Structure 1
Amino acid sequence: MKLVTRYHGEREIDPPEVIQFPRGIPGFEDETEFVLLPLTDDQVFFILQSVQTSDLAFVVTDPFLFYQDYDFQLDEATVKSLELGSPSEVRVLTILTVKDPFKETTVNLQAPVVINVPKKIAKQVVLNVDTYHTKHRLYRDNPVGTKR
């Protein structure tokens, strides 16, 4: 299917690539279908692009590349809603607030996007902990592109 995207122009997307967010994303509850498109060749940054709304796209990354100590537990209701059978089925992404200059970009560690990769079901989970916030510096004091 053809998809008009915010950052990649028109793209051909295979329907099996579509990730279902049954309850949408907080603030975008009617947006229930997204695709993940690479933003950079090194596969560090991606675009979580809405299938329904071409202008709705989030820059995301694997938080463990930047915060190796990042850790949280999913509640049983979330595990059930995502139909998770094992940790190996999970992919975690976090949404970035991109700033200029890029080294000032922040990452939302309080609300990760959790994806059941084989079943293409996802949910943005809001963590009720004091440890994580919506605006952590992505690079802290690291040079751009280094793993954390």
Structure 2
Amino acid sequence: MNIQTAYHGNITVNDEELLSFPHGVPGFHDEKQFALLHLEDNEWFQILQSTVTPDLAFITTNPFLFFPEYDFELDRASLDQLGNPTTGNIQVLSILTVKDPFKKSTANLQAPVIINTANKRGKQVILTDTNYRTHHPILAQPAGKKG
């Protein structure tokens, strides 16, 4: 499938790699299909690109790279919507807010994107009753420094 993207221009993606978000994502309920595009020479960040709307793309990362103690439980309804994945088939992503300078960029830990890698079904889950917020700095500042 050929898609127009926000950051890569016109590209071809394999249909097997497309991700289905049956309920869309919060704020974009009509957006049901995405591609997870990797950045060349960068394994830390990916782009979750809508296959329909070229300007709709989220910079994402594996939150455990920056927050090793990040932990949450998925509710039964979310697991059902994802097709009841096994632990080994769950991929967790955080959407970033990229800022200039980059060291001020933040990750949304309150609403992780969960992907069942076995069936390519995804869902953005909004965690409740948690201390996680939508803007956690991904690069910690040295003690005593103000940015």
Contact 1:4 1:11 in 2 (8 A): yes
**Distance (Å, rounded) in 1 between the aligned partners of 2:129 and 2:107:** 16
- Match for residue 100 of structure 1? 100
1:34-91 CA-to-partner distances (Å, cap 9, x unmatched) read 0000125231000000001011000000000000000000011111110124100100
- Match for residue 76 of structure 2? 76
**Distance (Å, rounded) in 2 between the aligned partners of 1:22 and 1:130:** 25
* SS of match in other structure, 1:88: helix
- Match for residue 64 of structure 1? 64
* Shift in CA distance, 34/5, structure 1 to aligned 2, threshold 3 Å: same
Gaps of 5+ in 2: 143-147
TM-score by length of 2: 0.93
Q: Which 4+ residue blocks in structure 1 deviate beyond 6 angstroms?
A: none
* Shift in CA distance, 140/120, structure 1 to aligned 2, threshold 3 Å: same
Contact 2:85 2:118 in 1 (8 A): no
* Shift in CA distance, 85/99, structure 1 to aligned 2, threshold 3 Å: closer
Contact 2:93 2:112 in 1 (8 A): yes
* SS of match in other structure, 1:100: coil
Aligned length: 142
**Higher mean C-alpha deviation, range 33-42 or range 22-31:** 33-42
* Shift in CA distance, 71/40, structure 1 to aligned 2, threshold 3 Å: farther
- Match for residue 17 of structure 1? 17
Amino acid at match of 1:72: F
Contact 2:39 2:47 in 1 (8 A): yes
Percent identity, aligned pairs only? 49
**By how many angstroms is 1:131 displaced?**
1.4
**Higher mean C-alpha deviation, range 104-113 or range 129-138:** 129-138
